[in-house]
Amino acid sequence: MDTKLETGEAAPSGAFGTFTRRGARGRPGRRPAKNPEAPLGAEALVQTIHKDFAFVNEAFDGVGDPRCPFRILYSPATLLWTPTLGFMNRCDSRNAMDADRNDEGYALTVAALSAQDWWPEEEARTTPCMGTVCAFLEHVDPARLEAVLTKTVFRLIRRK
């Protein structure tokens, strides 16, 4: 992994979770606005998803899971929220997304988004690496993921 990658912003103790502070590096145009305070932004995102877009987790968990049930550590929703949140954080590559996977605050945010409320005892909470996500996506029907996008756009238009 590239040692020059940015690291996640650690949340103050008792905080909800984190967002990383990434910006548009080397892109023309106006500089992006600063991210909101990390714990507040993460908590607001989780509340919005659970309140207005609860169908996303249902759809993510319903994509079908070909894995052996005894070897599953991450739910399908967690596997799909990890790259989604990485794109929202403007991660430019799989390596950039993997740089945050061991940040416990970031992992708590992904777990809250995906409603994964279980974790092995006495284990540090992590998010899946992008290799795991890609291996999972090889077995997912793209039409099921496209349905999530269609339903999300429909919901956004109806709320306007």
The structural domains of the chain, with segments of one domain joined by +, span 38-159
pLDDT per position as a tens digit, 129-146: 999 999 999 988 899 889
User: With bands split at pLDDT 50, 70 and 90, how would you rate the model's confidence at 22?
Assistant: very low
What distance, in Å, lies between the first and last C-alpha atoms of the chain? 42
- Whole-number mean pLDDT of the chain? 79
Mean pLDDT of 99-108: 85
User: What is the rounded distance in angstroms from the CA atom of residue 155 to the CA atom of residue 52?
Assistant: 9
pLDDT at 23 exceeding the cut of 50: no
Tens of pLDDT, residues 69-100: 888 889 999 999 999 988 888 888 888 888 87
Name, in order, each residue with C-beta under 8 angstroms of 90's C-beta and a sequence gap of 6 or more.
22, 23, 24, 32
pTM value is 0.71
Rounded CA-CA distance 39/63 in Å is 30
* CB proximity list for 63: less than 8 A, separation 6 or greater: 76, 80, 140, 141, 144, 145
* pLDDT value of residue 40: 74
Sign of CA dihedral 29, 35, 36, 42: positive
